Amino acid sequence: MTRRNLLALAGLAPLLRAGDAPVHAVLEAVARSESIDPTLRQVCDELGARPAGTPAMRRAVDWALAEFRDIGVDEAHAEEFTIPMLWQEGDTRVEVLEPVAFQVQAAATAWSPPTRRKGIEAEVIDGGSRAGDIERLGAAVRDKIVLMRLDEVRTFYDLGIEQRDAIVALREAAAAGAAALLLVSTRGDRLLYRHIHSVNGEIDPLPSALVTREDGLRIARLLDADKTVRVRLRLPNHIEHDAPDSNVIAEIRGREKPDEIVLLGAHFDSWDMGTGCLDNGVNVTLVIEVARAIVRAGVRARRTIRFALFSGEEAGLLGSWAYVRRHCDELDRFVAVIVHDMGLGEIEGYALNGRAELEEPLRKALEPLGRSAPQRNTTEAFFGSDHFDFLLEGVPALVAMQDTSGYVRPYHSAADTYNQVEPGQLRQRIRTAAAACFGIADLEERFGPRLDRQGVEQLLDRTQLDEQMRFLHFWDQWQSGARGRAPSGG
Ligand SMILES: [Zn+2]
């Protein structure tokens, strides 16, 4: 323990009155913390964008390790893993050549294959706006550049629809022999962003790019007016194989059952356009500041609390998958995994990912928050964040469900920077997360059991996660045993 932390302990010890549960001292340390905003500014402004496997991410890992050591946690280290493919955008160029020449503002779709050096020049065909539209065009699509005019997104739910329609459009355009796909941005004000359309580690079957809504709809209107539109598309994307990357892991050991573990996690990597603030710098800060508050409070929960900053999430949950593989012998001792990855909005509840029996112990763990405890815990189940490989291993997995009204517009775009933050909001989220992880780690009874493979199978069926996994071509990995709990229960 560093000198600085001893001083911090001396300062806060009187906060714990006789009879108070230790968690109250942690909440008091959160309330008094002066490090929350400076930490978030460092993550967003000084580290900046942190794509998995890049030198920027390696710098971020070193910074976080130094931060955890400075806090004085019991242990902090990096765990290296390999990301099979490192994709980076080159100098993307999209130009309309006919019927009038203009430059189109565009961004390559993540994991799009590169085009040949001189690019692709072809006629544009209107691919409609929904899944199924391209398929109906049949042979007319062959060798054309397909323009998909997706609807504008307003809600978190719309983001899911956009993702589904874009994935289907890509598959349909590739199957019909298109030359390339242009997706119209689902947000105005010339906003561009980046997602992947494959989560199983494969490069897309077709070159594709996102074009601004303004430019994309202009092309669509030209097509509506029966003009022949010719476009030249150059996507010199760089692809490297087997890049090193790391998760950052820290730990505060439990006072009674140090072998039992509650993991609080958030992904540290981001896309390259903004500075990864709402996705997910705010929750990286949350994880670090929960650790700091516990050390400052000078208390320990019954069980060990482990802190994880995963990389590789945006590239397909790669860091948390690597973590689960590396720690497979320990997973019986994982009491819960709690993941925050939904921005900065109010935490309305935790999603228990299909485990109704966890509702009561969670309510109990959150009791110290009093009236500000999240009221809408649900059994809802999710695919897309770092809890998922733990879920497949049968470990109780919680995801913070947040108000997403401020999250959707800047999502994965250049607008996802510190400017999105309203002061004071993050302290409330840290308070909730501290209560959740310390509360669960400090329960007298174990929070929940680990499910065997059959139990996980039933959960996937009950929650219809199996359908999502099939759609995303993720099911094979579960079926083959590459991901998830082994049938023997080992
Ligand atoms: Zn995220």
Mean pLDDT of 319-329: 97
Close Cβ partners of 195 (under 8 Å, ≥ 6 residues apart)? 109, 110, 163, 166, 412
Q: What is the pLDDT of residues 38-78, one digit of tens each?
A: 999 999 999 999 999 999 999 999 999 999 999 999 999 99
- State which H helix or E strand residue 443 sits in: none
Question: Ligand 1 centre and the CA of 282: distance in Å?
Answer: 10
The amino acid present at 315, given as its one-letter code, is A
379 confidence band (pLDDT: 50, 70, 90): very high
Measuring CA to CA, how many Å separate 188 from each of 128, 152, 326, 411?
18, 8, 43, 13
pLDDT(16) > 60: no
pLDDT value of residue 490: 45
Distance (Å, whole) CA 92 – CA 448: 49
Q: Is 276 helix (H, G, I), strand (E, B) or coil?
A: coil
Distance (Å, whole) CA 248 – CA 310: 7
Neighbours of 464 (CB within 10 A): 11
- The answer to whether 386 touches 8, Cβ cutoff 8 Å, is no
pLDDT value of residue 219: 98
Question: Ligand 1 centre and the CA of 341: distance in Å?
Answer: 5
pLDDT value of residue 130: 87
Pick the CATH number of 90-236 from 3.50.30.30, 3.30.70.141, 3.50.50.60, 3.10.150.10: 3.50.30.30
Measuring CA to CA, how many Å separate 68 from each of 156, 324, 451?
33, 21, 32
For residue 18, which phi and psi values (nearest 5 degrees)? -55, 135
pLDDT(473) > 90: no
Q: What is the pLDDT of residues 204-214, one digit of tens each?
A: 999 999 999 99
Q: Is 146 helix (H, G, I), strand (E, B) or coil?
A: strand
pLDDT value of residue 201: 73
- The answer to whether 430 touches 338, Cβ cutoff 8 Å, is no
Sorted by where each begins, the domain ranges of the chain are: 3-86+242-450, 90-236
Q: What is the pLDDT of residues 18-32, one digit of tens each?
A: 567 899 999 999 999
Q: What is the pTM of this model?
A: 0.94
Instruction: Kindly write down the DSSP assignment for every residue of 110-137, as one continuous string.
Output: BTPPPPPTT-EEEEEEE--SSTTHHHHH
Question: Ligand 1 centre and the CA of 280: distance in Å?
Answer: 5
DSSP β-bridge partners for residue 334: 261
113 confidence band (pLDDT: 50, 70, 90): very high
Task: Enter the tokens of residue 457.
Answer: 């199978």
Q: Classify residue 162 as left (phi > 0), alpha (psi -120 to 50) or beta.
A: alpha
Which class is domain 3-86+242-450?
Answer: alpha beta
Question: Ligand 1 centre and the CA of 3: distance in Å?
Answer: 35
Q: What is the pLDDT of residues 176-194, one digit of tens each?
A: 999 999 999 999 999 999 9
Q: What is the pLDDT of residues 143-172, one digit of tens each?
A: 999 999 999 999 999 998 999 999 999 999
Question: Ligand 1 centre and the CA of 137: distance in Å?
Answer: 35
Question: Ligand 1 centre and the CA of 279: distance in Å?
Answer: 5
Question: Ligand 1 centre and the CA of 179: distance in Å?
Answer: 31
To 5 degrees, how large is the angle CA 73–CA 75–CA 78? 120
Question: Ligand 1 centre and the CA of 138: distance in Å?
Answer: 36
Question: Ligand 1 centre and the CA of 283: distance in Å?
Answer: 9
Question: Ligand 1 centre and the CA of 6: distance in Å?
Answer: 35
Helix and strand totals (H; E) in the chain: 15, 15
Q: In percent, how much of the chain has pLDDT > 90?
A: 89
- The answer to whether 234 touches 91, Cβ cutoff 8 Å, is yes
pLDDT(128) > 60: yes
Distance (Å, whole) CA 228 – CA 205: 26
Mean pLDDT of 426-442: 98
Mean pLDDT score of the chain, rounded to an integer?
Answer: 93
The amino acid present at 316, given as its one-letter code, is G
Question: Ligand 1 centre and the CA of 140: distance in Å?
Answer: 38
